[in-house]
C-alpha cells in the first residue's frame, strides 16, 4: 500500500469559507456521514484569527445548514462546525471513497487543499489522481510512502480534540508557536532559543512545557484507555 499526500486548489465549502472577510488559518474535515440523497453531515474544525458568530458563517454558506457551532475550550479562535451540505461541497472526499482510496486528512491552508490518503499501489494512485484531476484541475503530488497498514481513516483518530483538554493554555501556546515557526520541520527551521524568545520565556521553561506536551501525547497514545 501507498500513503500519499497531494495538493489541489481549495474547492467547495473550504473555498467559500476562505471568502469570508475574517481571516481563516485552516479548515479541516474531521468526519463525514451520509444524510439523505446527495446530502451529507460534515464535521469541520475551522481556525480563525478572531472570534466569529454562527450567523456570519451561515451567511457565507447559503445552501448549507449549520447544525452546531462549538468554540474549542483551549485553542483560541478555533471552532467545531457541524453542517449538512451537498456532497459536492467535499467532492475530493467523494472521489477518494468512490475510487476505494482511504482518506486520512483533508485540510485547507495557505491557498491549498492538502489531502493524505492510502491507495493500493502505483496503478491505483494513477487512477485516483486522474479522477481528481478531471474534477479539480492540476494535482501536485507532495509525497508517497510505502506502508503495510491502512492507519486511521478520516474521523477515526480523535487525538486533536482529546489533546485540547489535556494541555494547559501555556503548553498549547508554546506548542503552536513552535509548530508555526518550523521547530518540528525537517530540517529544523528555528532553534529552541528562538522559540523561547518569541514566547518571552526562558529556555528551561520552554523545554519543560514541550516535555510535558510530549508526555501527554505519549500517555494518550500508549497509556491506559479510559
| Residue 52 backbone dihedrals phi, psi, to 5 degrees | -150, 155
- CATH 1.10.10 residue spans of the chain: 166-222
pLDDT class for 75, splitting at 50, 70, 90? low
CB of 41 closer than 8 Å to CB of 33:
yes
Question: So what's the pLDDT on residue 79?
Answer: 87
Q: Three-state secondary structure along the chain?
A: CEEEEEEECCCCHHHHHHCCCCCEEEEEEEEEEECCCCEEEEEEEEEECCCCCHHHHHHHCCCCEEEEEEECCCCCCEEEEEEEEEHHHHHHHHHHHHCCCEEEEEEEECCEEEEEEEECCHHHHHHHHHHHHHHHCCCEEEEEEECCCCCCCCCCCCHHHHHHCCCCHHHHHHHHHHHHHCCCCCCCCCCHHHHHHHHCCCHHHHHHHHHHHHHHHHHHHHCCCC
pTM of the model: 0.70
Considering only the top CATH level, what class is 166-222? mainly alpha
Neighbour-count burial of 174, counting CB atoms closer than 10 A to its CB (0-12 exposed, 13-18 middle, 19+ buried): buried
Cell of 57: 458563517
Reported as a single tens digit per residue, the pLDDT across 122-165 is: 999 999 999 999 999 889 999 999 988 887 788 655 555 556 56
For the chain, give the longest Cα–Cα distance: 56
pLDDT tens-digit profile of 79-138? 888 999 988 888 899 999 999 999 999 998 888 899 999 999 999 999 999 999 999 988
Q: What is the mean pLDDT of the chain?
A: 85
Which residue bears the cell 473555498? 15
Cβ distance 122 to 3 under 8 Å?
no
Amino acid at each position: 500500500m501507498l500513503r500519499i499526500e497531494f495538493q489541489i486548489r481549495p474547492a467547495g465549502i473550504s473555498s467559500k469559507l476562505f471568502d469570508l472577510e475574517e481571516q481563516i488559518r485552516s479548515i479541516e474535515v474531521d468526519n463525514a456521514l451520509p444524510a439523505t440523497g446527495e446530502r451529507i453531515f460534515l464535521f469541520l474544525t475551522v481556525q480563525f484569527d478572531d472570534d466569529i458568530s454562527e450567523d456570519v458563517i451561515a451567511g457565507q454558506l447559503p445552501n448549507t445548514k449549520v447544525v452546531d457551532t462549538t468554540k474549542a475550550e483551549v485553542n483560541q479562535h478555533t471552532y467545531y462546525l457541524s453542517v449538512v451540505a451537498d456532497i459536492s461541497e467535499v467532492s475530493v472526499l467523494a472521489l477518494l471513497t468512490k475510487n476505494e482510496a482511504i482518506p486520512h486528512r483533508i485540510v485547507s491552508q495557505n491557498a491549498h487543499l492538502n489531502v493524505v490518503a492510502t491507495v493500493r499501489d502505483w496503478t491505483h494512485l494513477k487512477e485516483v489522481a486522474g479522477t481528481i484531476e478531471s474534477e479539480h484541475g492540476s494535482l501536485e503530488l507532495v509525497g508517497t510512502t510505502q506502508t503495510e497498514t491502512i492507519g486511521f481513516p478520516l474521523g477515526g483518530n480523535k487525538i486533536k480534540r482529546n489533546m485540547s483538554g489535556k494541555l494547559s493554555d501555556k503548553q498549547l501556546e508554546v506548542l503552536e508557536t513552535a509548530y508555526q515557526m518550523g521547530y518540528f520541520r525537517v530540517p529544523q527551521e528555528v532553534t529552541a532559543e528562538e522559540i523561547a524568545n518569541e514566547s518571552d520565556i526562558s529556555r528551561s521553561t520552554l523545554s519543560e512545557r514541550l516535555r510535558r506536551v510530549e508526555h501527554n501525547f505519549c500517555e494518550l497514545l500508549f497509556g491506559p484507555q479510559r
